[in-house]
Each structure stands twice: as structure tokens, then as C-alpha cells.
């Protein structure tokens, strides 16, 4: 199965079974959030569904609302130290993602070397 192939899963919203189609990274992120918050996937999806239906954009699909929720949740958790650990901030935003290439690592290393203070002689 490819990186961008959607995965169809059955979920329960307000006690009603339905299905959602999302890429693997979204399902993994959703499970990580559930583990951190100590709630079930169906509980979290019901919360998202409930809040989305009352939001300024109630016509958004549940899948779309879940993707936006995941992005905002992770953005809220992003810290400067987290960005440093992920090697972000050197003009190579693909570092640490499945789309990372050797050229990204080389470009980041080149910038880091240019930014490093010169050693005293």
C-alpha cells in the first residue's frame, strides 16, 4: 500500500456506525492523540463531529474536520525545542517527513555549517 493511499475504516459516531477514508498518517496521528488524551477513537470522533456541526463551517465533512483538528492539535503542541529536534528551520521543511530526500539533509547541513561559529585559532 502506498504512502498516499487512503484507508477505509469503520467508526462509530453517536452510537451510529459509519466509515471514514483517510491516509495512514492521519489514522496514526488520530491514534496518537487518543492515547495521549486517554480516550477512544470513537469518543474523539464524536467530539469532533459534535463541535464541527456547531461551527461556522458545518458543511465540512467529518473527514475534513478530523484532518483540520489533527493539524491544529499538532500545531498547538509544536515547540521551539521540538522544531530543533526535528531539524526544522534550515530551509528544508521536508526533513523528518516521508518526503525527505538526501538533498534536503545536505541542504540543511550546509546551512548549519555556515551558521556555526568559527573556531578560534
Beta bridge partners of 12: 17
Q: Is the pLDDT of residue 57 over 90?
A: no
Is this prediction's pTM over 0.85? no
Residue 112: band (very low, low, confident or very high) from pLDDT cuts 50, 70, 90: confident
**What was the pLDDT predicted at 119?**
62
Supply 106's cell numbers. 545536505
Residue of 95, 93, 90, 97 lying closest to 115 (CA atoms) = 90
Q: How far apart are CA 63 and CA 57, in angstroms?
A: 13
Q: How far apart are CA 64 and CA 12, in angstroms?
A: 17
Residue of 99, 47, 100, 54 lying closest to 70 (CA atoms) = 47
Q: How far apart are CA 57 and CA 41, in angstroms?
A: 22
Cβ proximity of 36 and 45 under 8 Å: no
**What was the pLDDT predicted at 29?**
94
Amino acid at each position: 500500500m502506498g504512502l498516499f493511499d487512503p484507508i477505509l475504516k469503520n467508526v462509530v459516531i453517536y452510537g451510529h456506525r459509519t466509515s471514514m477514508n483517510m491516509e495512514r498518517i492521519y489514522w496514526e496521528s488520530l491514534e496518537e492523540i487518543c492515547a495521549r488524551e486517554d480516550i477512544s477513537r470513537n469518543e474523539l470522533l464524536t467530539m469532533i463531529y459534535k463541535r464541527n456541526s456547531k461551527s461556522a463551517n458545518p458543511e465540512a465533512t467529518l473527514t475534513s474536520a478530523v484532518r483540520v483538528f489533527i493539524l491544529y492539535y499538532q500545531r498547538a503542541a509544536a515547540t521551539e525545542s521540538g522544531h530543533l529536534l526535528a531539524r526544522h528551520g534550515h530551509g528544508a521543511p521536508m526533513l523528518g517527513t516521508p518526503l525527505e530526500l538526501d538533498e534536503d539533509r545536505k541542504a540543511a547541513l550546509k546551512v548549519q555549517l555556515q551558521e556555526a561559529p568559527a573556531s578560534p585559532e
